[in-house]
Structure 1
Amino acid sequence: MPHFDDLSTSELYKRFGKPVEVPIRRVDGKPGGPHAPPHAIYSMNLSMPANEMDNPEIIISDYGTSFIVADTPIPTLHTPALYSPPEDLLNEPIIHPTAADIWTLGVNMYEVLGERPLFETFSWDRDDIIGEMINTLGRPPVRWWNSWLKRSEFFKEDGSWVDDFRRISTPVFRRLPQRLWEMGRGETAQTCEWDVAGGELRALEDFLRAMMTFEPAERPTADQLLGYEYMVKWALPAWERQKRQKSRIVPSL
């Protein structure tokens, strides 16, 4: 964070709030020993917009359940349900593991850019997520539509919603274009931060829709994604500008 090391204690508290102490008690109710701390302090909330940070680095971690594709022809995925591809949620063998990664990449990209999940559910229920996928992207292939055991709880045969008194409100279709406009970047062409006139929002929709194609074999590879209009015209140029800005930063002595 800019000038973080130069902040005095009072300035630190003014910017991030004073420490919050929480008393420590034993589970059995007995008094703590002489070496036990009397309280704990919650970690300070250091969240801030990425564009206000000095020279930020993105670190991708947690590869505990990764596998070598060549050695695992039909693997078991351990991806959290909200980011899992439909073939995994609908119990189809994962015969295209890298295509599953591409789906997860698309879901993550929307969340990073929009600061909210693409498939919004009250719980990470797999059937709720499938319903949200269809709500966002349209009807899936026939084999999945017919094999989804709880489909009748969400959709009628013609694809319209089932009226259910258990739902808080009547669901409405929110296709991908609408969700892109709701990403928090402005809801009109005049207020939107995207280059609407230049076609950025449309190119982003094409980019995400390609990654989240229902059929795994039809999703593009990572190399192919680099050639999409959104990458060529907006994402990669922005990355190059960021690199040039970094190179102009002269560290103070």
Structure 2
Amino acid sequence: MSDRSSTGESGSIYYDDQEIIPDNGLKIETAPFGLEKLYDYEPGGHHPVHLDDVFNNRYRVIHKLGSGGFANVWLCRDLAAGLPKYVAAKVIAAEGSTAECPESRVGKLLETGCEREATAIYFSLPLDQFEIHGPNGTHYVFVYPVLGPRVSKLLHLSRLDDPGPQLRKICLEIAQAMATLHAHGICHGDFRPANILARIRGFDGLSEETVLEILGRPETTKVILVSGETHTLKTAPQYLIYPVKWDEVLLNPNNTSLTTGSACLTDFGESFESSSPPVEVGIPQVYYSPEQALEGKVGEASDLWALGCTLFEVRTGRKLFDTFDGDVDECLCKIALLLGKYPEPWWSETWASRRHFFQDEGDGDGKVVKVPRKPSTGNRTDAPQFHRPVYERPIPRSLEEIIREGAIFDVNKGPHVVVKDITTQESKIFADLLGRILNYNPKKRLSAEEVGQHEWFKL
């Protein structure tokens, strides 16, 4: 399986100066947004799947729930059930289908004495597991209950006068999920909104026709050769399927009661035992703790930092330390601008490029001071695009200030968004909670259990 994860890397072919064609010579007819990569349909990669395929003589594919480089997730009807029953079948790429498959790590929750009933409250546990064999190899398949969208994208809550109580309830469950993991010696390693999904009331008992009326019928795009002809490769499907568009589903007035208002933690692919932290984990850099970014240290403390970022994102619909491209230096800058100077030796020694961005000393209020922008010389070789006058949006310099900007719901997929105010009282209390989680000293951060006991959840 190819290890390429972005366009333009070694091994891809440029086509018409824009499109990237994988080594297998295939392309699709329409936009690739939301789809898996064609170059992952090769030995070691994804299993080619079409609608109405049946896994293990039991699970028939009727739609796609999600896609990625590690696995694709399919909405299936369970043919072994009497009444209509639906499940999510996660088909792991062949290269990842080994005895050390990260997906199976969730089983450690059960091995550590945590009862299945308790874990089922916060986590998505496999209902079934088996192997399938195809042209690209052997694939592990994990069958789960069907879940909804990520909890930071519950756009239908924009219809409420005050979505705060519902979002705080979800945030409490998120904190309790982490507390359960940490109590059993497990770190999640990739704790972020993308891996926390909303529970739905389920489709069991409904006809397939009704389910597809709710979710929308599958949209496909044909897979063809670069020449435009139909391909005959066994390693790739004849078409790719776009995942369910949850934004559209939840904004439909007929589906207002589809979600239960509860959260479910998923994707344990980066999880590890607290006593044996790995060298690194694959969490996106915008959720890195300072000690992870500067020293490569991961553990319960870095999980907690990610929890703080996640709580903010779920409550406000915005990333706390949003960046243009996820660059580590940019992330560190965003953190310093909001939370202040890093302690030594991080500030003066560990962060090698810090002096490119900030002066050694802060201002009278203890805030970091940017290095003045270099004036343009007018010479085009002097990279004038970096020095020309630009409008800079005022940057919030405290947690309370950034919280007061409100909760944003991008219901129109454009510049016009719905903004719900967050009261001054809640802003102060929420800022206190986040400040206690996002402490630069890893040892002084609130534990996940302590987070769940904070006053913010009692508003």
2:343 to 136, 141, 144: 141
Query: Counterpart in 1 of 2:287?
Result: 83
Which residues of 2 match residues 125-140 of structure 1 at below 5 A?
A: 125-140=327-342
Q: Deviations over 1:36-59 (max 9, x none)?
A: 976544333122269753425422
Query: Counterpart in 2 of 1:224?
Result: 450
CA contact (8 A) 1:185 1:194 kept: no
Query: Counterpart in 2 of 1:166?
Result: 386
Query: Counterpart in 2 of 1:64?
Result: 269
CA contact (8 A) 1:161 1:171 kept: no
Which residues of 2 match residues 185-200 of structure 1 at below 5 A?
A: 193-196=421-424, 199-200=425-426
Query: Counterpart in 2 of 1:183?
Result: 406
CA contact (8 A) 2:359 2:369 kept: yes
CA contact (8 A) 1:200 1:230 kept: yes
Work out the CA distance in 1 between the residues paired with 2:403 and 2:345: 28
If each structure's strand is expressed as a fraction of its own residues, which one has the higher value?
2
Q: 1:51 to 1:112 in 2, by over 3 A?
A: farther
Secondary structure of the equivalent of 2:360? coil
Secondary structure of the equivalent of 1:55? strand
Q: Quick one: which amino acid aligns to residue 220 of structure 1?
A: L
Secondary structure of the equivalent of 2:314? helix
Secondary structure of the equivalent of 2:386? coil
Which residues of 2 match residues 12-161 of structure 1 at below 5 A?
A: 12=213, 20-27=219-226, 30-33=229-232, 39-47=239-247, 48=250, 52-70=257-275, 72=276, 75-78=278-281, 79-91=283-295, 93-94=297-298, 97-147=299-349, 148-158=351-361, 159-161=368-370
Work out the CA distance in 1 between the residues paired with 2:426 and 2:393: 29
Instruction: Provide the aligned C-alpha RMSD in A.
Output: 3.5
Per mean C-alpha deviation after superposition, the further-off stretch among 149-158 and 51-60 is: 51-60
TM-score by length of 1: 0.71
- Structure 1 residues not aligned, in runs of 5+: 235-253
Q: Deviations over 1:93-146 (max 9, x none)?
A: 45xx22221111000111111112111110110000000001111111121111
- Structure 2 residues not aligned, in runs of 5+: 1-199, 362-367, 375-384, 410-418
Cα deviation, residue 208, structure 1? 0.8
TM-score by length of 2: 0.42
Work out the CA distance in 2 between the residues paired with 1:120 and 1:222: 23
Cα deviation, residue 23, structure 1? 2.9
Number of matched residues?
220
Give aligned-pair identity as a percent.
25
Answering whether residue 431 of structure 2 is matched by residue 205 of structure 1, we say yes
Work out the CA distance in 1 between the residues paired with 2:320 and 2:256: 23
Per mean C-alpha deviation after superposition, the further-off stretch among 48-57 and 121-130 is: 48-57
Work out the CA distance in 2 between the residues paired with 1:170 and 1:41: 40
Q: Quick one: which amino acid aligns to residue 160 of structure 1?
A: V
Work out the CA distance in 2 between the residues paired with 1:65 and 1:19: 31
Cα deviation, residue 172, structure 1? 4.4
